[in-house]
Amino acid sequence: MTRYVIVGVASGILFAVLDAVLNANPLAQRLFEVYKPIARTSINPVAGIVIDLAYGLIMAAVFLLLYASLPGGSGLLKGVSFAFLVWFFRVVMSVASQWMMFRVSAEASLYSLVAGLGEMLILGVLYGLTLMPVA
């Protein structure tokens, strides 16, 4: 249980850092200008951190629940499998929805897909190397 909490909190912090780096860099700012008319002019950092911490704890719990069902013979491979699963449901489906609803450039969509895959792989590897169900 202690390991789960530590890894869940660490992954939540990692979520916050990666989201900031991936969404606030100059390339992302340029690609996502299409959202500027509807984007907030300021953010609530406390709410963002709380949400990312919750995401980290929830994703760590889901990883543990799915552990035995994930493909791969090692924790690392199970983490990578989990990363691709989460990437599909979190990122790919979101990008597809944005493509349907907004005039978003192909470059912005591709950036979201690649950046999201990188983020999910980092988190999946963290889970795969540090978490395993207790027998």
Determine contact, residues 72/84, Cβ cutoff 8 Å: no
pLDDT tens, position by position, 8-33? 899 999 988 888 888 888 888 888 88
Q: How confident is the model at residue 48 (pLDDT cuts 50, 70, 90)?
A: confident
Nearest residue to 132 (alpha-carbon basis) of 58, 75, 66: 75
Please give the mean pLDDT across all residues of the chain.
90
Is the pLDDT assigned to residue 135 strictly greater than 70?
Answer: no
Q: Where are the domains of the chain?
A: 2-130
Q: Rg for the chain (alpha carbons), in Å?
A: 16
Q: What is the pTM of this model?
A: 0.86
**How large is the average pLDDT for residues 53-77?**
94
- Non-local (6+) Cβ contacts of 54 within 8 A are 12
